[in-house]
Amino acid sequence: MSGSLTSRAQAQAVPRWYAIAIGALFGLFYANAVWQAIDGLVGAASGPLGLNAMGWIVWLMAALVPWVAFAIAAAVGRTRGMLTYPLALLAGLGLVAVFWLNVLAYATLNAPALVG
């Protein structure tokens, strides 16, 4: 029984070339989210008042969440099959986009609470 489960899991695993190609394509979008967060962090920190602790937390989380989402989506999707892998990465990218919109809304509406 254990041998058949192992062979079935190996048959459903994503080939290495496919994982690299799809991971690189989606990785560009995740990297763009990280780059935008770092740009927002540098822009906010170099202002006349700088950032307080809450501002640093908000902008650092905006830079770290895409990395974590990509790692989780790649780990989960890679073991599930060729169609599930890009769908997992797309779902993770959707979560990153929603988180990014939340960060922008929070930083826009509560800007005085993030500086100084």
CB-side neighbour CA atoms (13 Å) of 113: 8
Instruction: Check residue 111 and give its pLDDT.
Output: 87
Distances 54 to 10, 15, 28, 60, 93 between C-alpha atoms, Å: 46, 43, 28, 10, 25
pTM of the model: 0.83
- Given a cut of 70, the residues of the chain with pLDDT beneath it are 1-12
Instruction: Check residue 14 and give its pLDDT.
Output: 80
